Amino acid sequence: MSELDEISKILEGIPHEVKKARERRIFVQVPSDKLWEAVRRLRDNVEAQHVVTITGIDTGENIELLYHLWSPKVKSLITVRTTVPRDSPSIRSIVDLIPGATLYEREVHDMLGVNFINHPNLARLLLPEDWPENLHPLRKDVKLEELRKLIFGR
């Protein structure tokens, strides 16, 4: 059984799409409400328990989240992709499954404003404590001039 077939079987019952981008690079697309369950199954079945990083991208319409998980069992980096609505970006935290995700979720929260539900500590990570609450620097609607004034006062 190929690693793609194995992952598809593991994710049976969850709407998903699995693609192999190149050697040792697998992409899995799942709905945001199924992300936690998909990560749990990958952790339990292919030992994907190391979060390399979590990438957040403002696409203009949605926030795309990419969870990059290393699996020693299939010897591949598995990227689990999902999207959340830009106007209310919330998703269940995976920190209870993989504690190493804590700092990556905090970074995405700071930079893009994604609320990770049940995260034990969504305190600021990269931005100063007095940073405006609803100003997320990697959002497409944030103007460079606005950031410049905030940072440099001019």
pLDDT at 153 over 80: no
User: What's the CATH number where 39 sits?
Assistant: 3.30.460.80
In which domain, by residue range, is 56 found?
3-152
Global pTM exceeds 0.85: yes
Q: What sign does the CA torsion over 35, 40, 45, 51 have?
A: positive
pLDDT tens, residue by residue, 22-60: 899 999 999 999 999 999 999 999 999 999 999 999 999
- List alpha helices for 90-141, DSSP H: 102-112
pLDDT tens, residue by residue, 112-130: 999 999 999 999 999 998 8
Give the count of domains, the chain: 1
